[in-house]
Amino acid sequence: MSEARPVLVLVGPPGAGKSTVGRVLARRLKVTFTDVDALIVERAGKPIADMFLQDGEDAFRALEREVVAEALRTTTGVLALGGGSVLADETRVRLRGHRVVHLTVGLADGLRRTGMSTARPLLAGVNPRATFKALLDARAPLYREVATHEVDTVRRSANQVVRAVLEAIGEVPADAPADPVDPTDPLDVPTPYGAQVGGAALPDPTVRP
């Protein structure tokens, strides 16, 4: 019997919108959505920030590798990996043969969306901007190594990113009419250009009916 395989795997740095975009993609594709970070929190019984503080990054990464391997074997919908999942050689090997979309984000948009939240321990410190830039520079080649498609999220709404992903994977023709825009829908509002850091996280689509 063949193993289950995700329809689509999302990778990218913090602030790229993997969870938000993943949920909307799953809804559009009529499949389930699985977030590796949520699985880790459930397995560990505590927030990721607490894992880093109490157990250390090495212990967190070991659990992350285990959870990712299991999710790649059992998930049949859209799967969002944590931002650092691709650091593991074995994870990058496991991603071969999967349809993987790399959601890219620039420094400014990434900082605005993450807001240097304490829930993201790798961004904590005296110079979050420099830390985030170093993270982007170090991980970009790894994301590109595993990706079969790349979609830019800069100054795009969640729905615009979803449309771009669907076009990239051939689910929507590139010349199909544009999706209607609802200015009252937070998923149709791009990250404000020039907004203050910490004030423009991508919306949570689960709050919508």
Q: What is the pLDDT of residue 96?
A: 95
Whether 173 and 179 have beta carbons less than 8 Å apart is answered as no
pLDDT value, residue 115 = 62
Domain 8-207: CATH architecture, name and number where available: 3-Layer(aba) Sandwich (3.40)
pLDDT of 19: 92
pLDDT at 200 over 70: no
Domain ranges of the chain: 8-207
Per-residue pLDDT tens digits for 154-164: 888 999 999 99
Q: What is the residue whose two structure tokens read 């650092």?
A: 84
- The alpha carbon dihedral of 27, 31, 34, 35 has a sign of negative
Do the Cβ atoms of 156 and 193 come closer than 8 Å?
A: no
> pLDDT tens, 30-70?
999 999 999 999 999 999 889 988 999 999 999 999 999 99
